[in-house]
Amino acid sequence: MGAHTFQETIGGKGMTASEAYTALVDQALYERGHDAYNGTISTTSGFVRIEPGRRRVRTVIREILEDEENQVRKWGPAGCIELKGAAVTRWRKRNGLAGTRTKAYVFFGWAAS
């Protein structure tokens, strides 16, 4: 029994953070089963929204995952950052959604394994 980090990005037109989280959990349960230690987002206890401000998303994620006092820790909630500006534009382009108003969210944290 241990833990490791995960990071997943998901998006959709009009998708809310709650819908995105539910979709990722459902996908993880389907692919990896209902084991409480399956090492996926399904082992988290919900999610908390995080506003990165003007900082890079990857920097914020790294700092949070390294901070032992942060609530996004082993067997806690996942972190959720909504991609905005250039970050969401790049994600849309990589996923063939350029020119749309599709929202995208990054979920990250520690998964029980």
Residue 85 burial by Cβ neighbours in a 10 Å radius (0-12, 13-18, 19+): exposed
Tokens 């399956």 -> residue: 38
Residue 96 has pLDDT above 80, yes or no: yes
Domain boundaries, the chain: 3-112
CA distances from residue 56 to 59, 67, 83, 86 in whole angstroms, order as listed: 5, 17, 10, 11
DSSP codes joined into one string, 90-106: HHHHHTT-TTS--EEEE
Q: In this predicted model, what pLDDT tens digit does every residue of 39-82 receive, in sequence order?
A: 899 999 999 999 999 999 999 999 999 988 887 776 689 999 99
